[in-house]
Structures are given as structure tokens and as C-alpha cells.
Structure 1
Amino acid sequence: MPAQPLAPETADAPVAVVRRQYLASATGDLDLWRTTVAADVEWIEAAGSPLAGTYRTPDGVISGVFEQLAAAWDDWITHDDTYVVDGERVVVLGRYSAVNKATRKTMSVRVAHCFIVRDGKIVRFEQIVDPAGVHTAMTA
């Protein structure tokens, strides 16, 4: 049986929404980022990481995560290397790189991000990261 062509990606397809979220984060376009998440988004930062916890609402994520990262790190980049898609679930394997403002130490750590996208919006995000590399960069 010949392979079936893939359906074209729509703007509200889960993988397109997640990619747009990364683009918005990378460029600091919070208005665009807000269009990718649900009003009641649940955003989970990994246990053991400096920002560990669950944040809700776009404003909660911006103030609890994005603003804190900007205050503590220079040149923060999330490298979204590999996407694995299963329906509404999108898992992104990648890494973070940054320079800690207090110590001037660099960081490069592997991460996995698990998204659930419904009706064109991210409703849940969960970060999986080994926080040791983050903590090493943060300690003098």
C-alpha cells in the first residue's frame, strides 16, 4: 500500500501552536505568546528547579516564570530540537542555554516539554529537566 500524504498543518494544529509558542518566547512577543495558551493554562515547572511549581493563567506564567528567567539569566535560549506528536499531545526534546547574571556561569541542560493542546490553545505544559546543571550555573 502506498504511503498516504500527510494532511497540511493548520494554524491551530497542536504542533503549529507549540512552535508558535516557542517563537513568541524567543522573540519576547508576549502578545503572540498569549494567543497560544488557554486562559486557564496549567504550567508546571519541574520539581527541584529554581522555579518549581504550578502556574496558572497567562499572567501567572509571565510573572512567575518568564519575568523570573529574564531577571536571573542573560541570553536564555530554549532549543526546540525534536517534536513528537500524538494527537493533542506534543512532546518537545531540547535544551536550555543561558548565562546566569549573578555568577556569569553558562548553562546547557537537556529538557523535555510536554504540552497538551485543545481547540488551538495550550491547556497544559509540563517541564522535565535535571536541575543539577541549572543549580551549578547559579552557584559561585
Structure 2
Amino acid sequence: MGLTEVPYENSDFAASTAPADVVRRQYLASAAGDLAALRATLAPDVEWTEMAGFPLAGTYRTPEGVTSNVMEKLGQDWDGWTAHDDTYVVDGENVVVLARYTATNKATGKSIDVRVAHQFVVRGGLIVRFEQFVDTALVLDAMRR
């Protein structure tokens, strides 16, 4: 499934439990800065892993743990942090998204435009697992003066 414009408020899309739709809602909520909507896509026992070497490396649990330890911290350190999802590969409950991050580091003024892959597992209409794959050196370089 390639990137398509899906109306965020569309009731059929908003109610869909199809794995790709759940993941797409997560990206839309993140881009809109709607952390409540993002948390609504996550299972209560979600495991969200940011890659070793990434500034926020680690595994976070609970929807609140994910948004407070990842999304809110990215917003503190970066202007315009956005994950642009462009290609979806779906196999049952597994969804791999090829994407890119764009942002400008607040401390250095350096920008990034880096390719990433995200692997999601969706069960019962909620994301139960996430794993990030990214060139951490490009992100860290933008953070160095």
C-alpha cells in the first residue's frame, strides 16, 4: 500500500481495525501532534523499541510511556519532527513501513532527512509492538555542534 491521502476524520477509516489502517492513523496522529489519538492506536501493553544508537534508544511500554519518552522528547529537541510514511508492506498482523524522518535540531540548527523502516505488529486493532530501523549516525550528526 503506498501513501494515500486518507481523511483523518473519515468514520470508516477511523473505525477500521485493519493493521495498515491502524498504523496509518498512528502516523497521522503523530504528524498532527495529537498524542491522545496516537495513544489510542497503542495496546495497553505495547512494546515500542527505538533502535540502539538512536538518541532515545530503548524499549518503552504503555501508551503513556511511549508518548512521554519518545514523541514528547522529540518535540523538545527538534523542530518539525515528522515521520513521512510512504510505502507499506503488510503480511497479516505485520506491517513494515518505509518512511523518512525530517526535522531540525533546536540546539544546532542542523536538519535531517533520513530514511527509516518501522516494523509494527497489530492485533485486535491496536499496535502491540514497534521496532525502528534508522541510520542513527545521521541523526546524531545533526545533534553535534
Normalising by structure 1, we get a TM-score of 0.92
Residue type of the alignment partner of 1:45: E
1:30 and 1:107 mapped to 2: Cα distance?
23
Paired residues, what number?
133
1:43 and 1:24 mapped to 2: Cα distance?
16
2:37 and 2:72 mapped to 1: Cα distance?
16
Task: State the 4+ residue runs in structure 1 displaced beyond 2 angstroms.
Answer: none
How far is the alpha carbon of 1:61 from its aligned partner?
0.5
> 1:17 matched to which residue of 2?
22
How far is the alpha carbon of 1:63 from its aligned partner?
1.1
Residue type of the alignment partner of 1:25: S
Residue type of the alignment partner of 2:94: R
> 1:86 matched to which residue of 2?
91
1:136 and 1:34 mapped to 2: Cα distance?
30
1:32 and 1:54 mapped to 2: Cα distance?
21
Sequence identity of aligned pairs in percent?
65
| 1:55-66 map, 5 Å | 55-66=60-71
Q: Which runs of 5+ in 1 are unaligned?
A: 1-8
Q: Which runs of 5+ in 2 are unaligned?
A: 1-12
Residue type of the alignment partner of 2:30: S
| 1:52-131 map, 5 Å | 52-131=57-136
How far is the alpha carbon of 1:28 from its aligned partner?
1.1
Normalising by structure 2, we get a TM-score of 0.89
- Larger radius of gyration, structure 1 or 2? 1
Deviations 1:86-109 (A, max 9, x none): 000000001101000000000111
1:64 and 1:35 mapped to 2: Cα distance?
16
* Contact preservation (8 Å) 2:89, 2:96: yes
Q: For residue 69 of structure 1, give the secondary structure of its aligned residue in structure 2.
A: helix
